[in-house]
């Protein structure tokens, strides 16, 4: 059996009830404040739904003239053209017969829009329905509020969320409104996005869009991320599982509920030792985000190990979390000065990581960098790998504004080959 194809079978995930109308808010406003209603039409003006006095039967006439189309299709067209105003004016209409005729068509119309992929208009519809559901005005408005609240449940429907998720991942420029709909649906929206990623062709654009969209959920996505990573680790040798694991780790929230912190750290820790630089790096970054300084012993253990993928991952995580301190610098010096065997990428990474050294360890870091730049050169020998390390150390010295950086770079330039000399002199010129 191809286990990678079973990854969307996350038994641990249970979709919550559809989003309550009381939680639907416009993203740019405070969570506890309701969006303001749209301006009411001027007195005596024809509403959007009524163009003239004879339009009472226009809707029925339109349906009769288009026998191949359903009434919900026609409402979907109207909603797509002007979503918020259509809802606002129907719910404010004084014509109870018109309201009773058209309000039941809104939910199927929303489903039709989702199937068509016209997802950009769904968020304005949801917000307009929220306003209607929150209307505490006259008796008619309060009665109709229950209808709006019931229709809002469609925005938690798995089929609709699946359509929105496909749009978010596969469109070259997905609407922000579509992303908001998924986030509003919470764990159900995160699961829809994950399922869409499983079924999408893993193009570079999709692999970038997925973690970016999932990270917007914050802690809401944690149940999906936890269950998926646990399953992926069992098939981590599969390249597809590695890609998904990397993306999920990149999207992992910076904080989880206190009761989940230990489990989250232990889960991320299982990936920092995977023999894949992208996966190990993403795992180390996720671990550092959720554990902070508590993750340092694990990361130092990776530096002290012999796996270069783990070392590179640890360097990235320690640097991002500001932990290049007096405990880390001696280890990085060992890589730089070749006292500890390591690949060129580890040594270059160590040199660049020292740019973020903490103040108490700054002097020790500068000394190690100067030694790396001034390392002995065998006559007539060109070592491109060593040259890369020298350039990285020189760049960091300049960035740290080391007092003797100019003399150190000039000295190394004098006894270097033409290619390295030119680069060092260019660096000196730009100081």
What is residue 382's predicted lDDT score, i.e. its pLDDT? Answer: 53
Report the C-alpha gap between 199 and 169 in whole angstroms.
10
Lowest mean pLDDT, pick from 36-50, 78-92, 198-212, 416-430:
36-50
Stretch 170-193: mean pLDDT: 90
For 302, the token pair is 């990776």
For residue 305, what is the DSSP state?
S
More confident residue, 419 or 46: 419
For 191, the token pair is 């699961």
**How high is the mean pLDDT of the chain?**
83
Report the C-alpha gap between 366 and 329 in whole angstroms.
10
Phi/psi-derived region of residue 292, left when phi > 0, alpha when psi is between -120 and 50, beta in every other case: left
Residues in CB range of 365: below 8 A, 6 or more apart: 324, 329, 332, 333, 354, 357, 400
Name the helix (H) or strand (E) containing 395.
helix 384-399
Report the C-alpha gap between 420 and 422 in whole angstroms.
5
Asked whether the predicted pLDDT for residue 431 surpasses 90, the reply is no
Report the C-alpha gap between 409 and 412 in whole angstroms.
5
3-state secondary structure of 340: coil
**Among 333, 339, 372, which residue's Cα sits nearest to residue 353?**
333
How far is residue 336 CA from its own chain's centroid? 34
Q: Percent helix, strand, coil in the chain (nearest 5)?
A: 70, 0, 30
State which of 1-10, 325-334, 381-390 shows the largest mean pLDDT.
325-334
Q: How far is CA 419 from CA 42, 337, 404, in A?
A: 75, 22, 23
Name the helix (H) or strand (E) containing 314.
helix 308-320
**Among 199, 133, 188, which residue's Cα sits nearest to residue 155?**
188
Asked whether the predicted pLDDT for residue 105 surpasses 60, the reply is yes
**Among 336, 334, 340, 342, which residue's Cα sits nearest to residue 310?**
342
DSSP result, 54-113: TGGGHHHHHHHH-TTS-HHHHHHHHHHHSHHHHHHHHHH-S-HHHHHHHGGGHHHHHHHH
pLDDT tens digits along 221-280 = 999 999 999 999 999 999 999 999 999 999 999 888 777 888 999 999 999 989 898 999
What is residue 119's predicted lDDT score, i.e. its pLDDT? Answer: 86
Asked whether the predicted pLDDT for residue 15 surpasses 50, the reply is no
Asked whether the predicted pLDDT for residue 429 surpasses 90, the reply is no
Task: Please tell me the total number of residues recorded for the chain in this structure.
Answer: 431
State which of 53-57, 81-85, 366-370 shows the largest mean pLDDT.
366-370
More confident residue, 55 or 151: 151
pLDDT tens digits along 364-419 = 999 999 999 998 876 655 566 789 999 999 999 999 999 999 999 999 999 888 99
Report residue 66's pLDDT band, with 50, 70 and 90 as the boundaries. low
Residues in CB range of 91: below 8 A, 6 or more apart: 99, 103, 128, 132, 135, 141, 144, 148
Model's pTM, two decimal places?
A: 0.75
Name the helix (H) or strand (E) containing 197.
helix 187-199
The C-alpha angle with vertex 102 and arms to 131 and 88, in degrees rounded to 5, equals 25
Stretch 306-329: mean pLDDT: 91
Stretch 147-163: mean pLDDT: 93
Asked whether the predicted pLDDT for residue 144 surpasses 50, the reply is yes
């Amino acid at each position: 059996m191809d286990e990678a194809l079973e990854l969307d079978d996350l038994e641990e995930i249970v979709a919550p009830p559809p989003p309550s109308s009381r939680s639907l808010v416009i993203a740019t406003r405070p969570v506890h404040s309701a969006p303001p209603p749209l301006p009411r039409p001027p007195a005596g003006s024809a509403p959007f739904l009524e163009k003239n006095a004879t339009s009472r039967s226009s809707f029925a006439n339109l349906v009769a003239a288009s026998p191949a189309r359903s009434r919900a299709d026609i409402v979907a067209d109207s909603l797509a053209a002007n979503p918020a105003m259509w809802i606002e004016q129907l719910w404010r209409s004084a014509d109870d017969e018109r309201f009773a005729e058209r309000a039941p068509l809104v939910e199927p119309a929303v489903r039709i829009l989702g199937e068509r992929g016209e997802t950009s208009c769904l968020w304005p519809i949801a917000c307009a329905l929220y306003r209607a559901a929150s209307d505490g005005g006259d008796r008619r408005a309060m009665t109709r509020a229950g209808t709006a609240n019931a229709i809002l449940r469609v925005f938690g429907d798995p089929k609709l969320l699946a359509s929105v998720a496909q749009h978010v991942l596969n469109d070259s420029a997905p609407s922000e409104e579509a992303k908001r709909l998924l986030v509003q649906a919470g764990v159900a929206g995160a699961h829809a996005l994950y399922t869409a990623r499983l079924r999408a062709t893993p193009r570079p654009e999709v692999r970038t869009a997925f973690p970016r969209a999932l990270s917007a959920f914050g802690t809401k996505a944690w149940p999906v991320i936890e269950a998926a990573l646990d399953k992926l680790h069992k098939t981590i040798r599969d390249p597809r599982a590695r890609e998904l694991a990397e993306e999920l780790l990149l999207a992992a929230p910076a904080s989880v509920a206190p009761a989940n912190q230990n489990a989250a750290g232990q889960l991320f820790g299982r990936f920092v030792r995977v023999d894949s630089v992208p996966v190990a790096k993403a795992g180390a970054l996720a671990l550092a985000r959720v554990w902070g300084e508590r993750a340092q012993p694990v990361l130092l253990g990776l530096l002290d190990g012999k796996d270069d993928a783990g070392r590179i991952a640890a360097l990235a995580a320690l640097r991002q979390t500001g932990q290049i301190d007096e405990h880390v610098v001696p280890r990085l010096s060992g890589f730089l000065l070749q006292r500890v065997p390591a690949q060129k990428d580890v040594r270059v990474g160590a040199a660049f990581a020292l740019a973020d050294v903490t103040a108490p360890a700054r002097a020790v870091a500068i000394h190690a960098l100067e030694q790396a730049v001034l390392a002995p050169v065998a006559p007539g020998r060109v070592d491109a790998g060593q040259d890369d390390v020298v350039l990285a150390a020189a760049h960091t010295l300049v960035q740290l504004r080391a007092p003797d950086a100019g003399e150190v770079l000039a000295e190394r330039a004098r006894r270097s080959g033409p290619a390295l000399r030119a680069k060092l002199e260019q660096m000196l010129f730009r100081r």
